[in-house]
């Protein structure tokens, strides 16, 4: 291998001005060399066992300069534009909310000496069908979800086949197969649900996440790679725009809260004061109020039930005493 040390100047808002980001630029690669680690640009996960891992990549450089005190980052996609958003580094923007709605799991896939952000061991339910997935890759660079032909065959059978026969939907066969339909067709597929029982990690994708309108046609944003293993899926922007994914390179976990908030810049910059009580997100407050109401109602019912039992018992005792007295007076006579 032939290469040399290089650097680029980067600026991140008001926090980092013209910083030299160092990296190794490969000029010529020797095919006989087995590379296990050659640096990391951006936010790619690295093997913490490698001696240079803690000095490689942007997030580690920021930590070295004491600009952040952890190796967390969060991807946020804007609601109005699927392909624009923010990267929040070194801060959990949901920290003021309770953790009851946080879902996370070990998020490193080790494949052929390379490391990827992803989860493993999922059951996917699509209508009455179940698919076992071992590799679930998180791919923010993909504008679509990439699945196997097994997914394609199920979706085609459940919805697209009939519409294709009616000449209302179409199947394109290229490097990636995909479906698209006329603009008057409602691509009304069932929600696709993902479940990881080990980490209680659940999420789902619905038709609103998966349909893109373009020049009079509706495109389905799951494409299919015939060479992809049936137990593998790549989750791109249609999934990532729905949840704010928090990546933690220290714990090797990634997760998200079961709600998404349209954060303002000042909310992101504000620091949560120590000792502040964590709050329940607004969308779940009604549910929590209902829980409190049900608990109070159950308590009242139990108290009334106990009182009723006591009342009936006391009434029964009174009748027994009266009967005893009446029987005693009769015996005396």
Q: 7-11, 28-32, 33-37, 97-101: which has the minimum mean pLDDT?
A: 33-37
Average pLDDT over residues 81-93: 79
Cα–Cα separations (whole angstroms), residue 132 to 153, 200, 318: 15, 16, 67
Domain ranges of the chain: 1-69, 90-272
Read off the pLDDT band of 321 (50, 70, 90): low
Backbone phi and psi for residue 82, each to the nearest 5 degrees, phi listed first: -65, -20
- CATH class belonging to 90-272: mainly beta
Contact 59/73 with Cβ under 8 angstroms?
yes
Contact 39/60 with Cβ under 8 angstroms?
no
Return the sign of the alpha-carbon dihedral for residues 172, 208, 86, 43. negative
Q: Which two tokens stand for residue 172?
A: 């394109």
Percent of the chain surpassing pLDDT 90: 15
Asked if pLDDT for residue 207 goes beyond 80, the answer is yes
List, for residues 224-273, the tens digit of each pLDDT value: 998 898 889 999 999 998 888 898 888 888 888 877 777 665 455 555 55
| Predicted pLDDT of residue 220 | 94
Q: 18-22, 91-95, 275-279, 313-317: which has the minimum mean pLDDT?
A: 275-279
**120, containing H or E segment:** strand 114-126
Read off the pLDDT band of 320 (50, 70, 90): low
Average pLDDT across the chain, whole number: 77
pTM: 0.73
Asked if pLDDT for residue 9 goes beyond 90, the answer is no
Cα–Cα separations (whole angstroms), residue 250 to 42, 109, 228, 330: 16, 15, 30, 89
Asked if pLDDT for residue 216 goes beyond 80, the answer is yes
Contact 143/210 with Cβ under 8 angstroms?
no
| Predicted pLDDT of residue 181 | 95
| Predicted pLDDT of residue 291 | 61
Which residue, 127, 143, 262, 153, is CA-closest to 210?
Answer: 143
| Predicted pLDDT of residue 180 | 94
d(CA 205, CA 262): 19
């Amino acid at each position: 291998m032939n290469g040399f040390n290089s650097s680029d100047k980067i600026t991140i808002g008001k926090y980092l001005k013209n910083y030299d980001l160092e990296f190794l630029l490969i000029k010529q690669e020797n095919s006989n060399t087995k590379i296990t680690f050659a640096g990391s640009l951006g936010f790619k996960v690295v093997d913490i066992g490698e001696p240079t891992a803690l000095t490689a990549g942007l997030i580690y450089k920021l930590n070295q300069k004491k600009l952040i005190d952890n190796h967390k980052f969060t991807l946020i996609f804007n609601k109005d534009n699927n392909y624009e958003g923010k990267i929040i580094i070194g801060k959990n923007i949901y920290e003021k909310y309770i953790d009851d709605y946080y879902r996370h799991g070990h998020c490193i896939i080790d494949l052929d000496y390379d490391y990827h952000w992803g989860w493993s061991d999922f059951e996917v339910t699509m209508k009455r069908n179940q698919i076992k997935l071992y590799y679930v890759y998180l791919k923010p660079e993909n504008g679509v979800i990439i699945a196997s032909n097994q997914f394609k065959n199920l979706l085609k059978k459940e919805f697209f086949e009939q519409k294709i026969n009616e000449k209302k939907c179409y199947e394109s066969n290229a490097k990636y197969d995909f479906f698209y339909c006329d603009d008057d067709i409602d691509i009304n597929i069932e929600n696709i649900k993902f479940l990881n029982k080990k980490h209680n990690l659940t999420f789902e994708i619905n038709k609103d996440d998966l349909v893109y309108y373009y020049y009079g046609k509706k495109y389905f944003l799951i494409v299919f790679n015939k060479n992809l293993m049936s137990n593998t899926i790549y989750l791109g922007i249609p999934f990532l725009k729905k949840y704010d994914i928090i990546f933690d390179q220290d714990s090797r976990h990634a997760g998200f809260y079961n709600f998404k908030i349209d954060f303002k810049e000042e909310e992101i910059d504000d620091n949560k004061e120590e000792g502040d009580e964590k709050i329940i997100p607004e969308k779940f407050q009604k549910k929590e109020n209902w829980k409190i109401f049900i608990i109070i109602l159950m308590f009242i019912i139990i108290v009334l039930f106990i009182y009723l039992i006591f009342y009936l018992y006391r009434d029964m005792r009174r009748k027994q005493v009266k009967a005893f007295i009446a029987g005693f007076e009769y015996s005396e006579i």
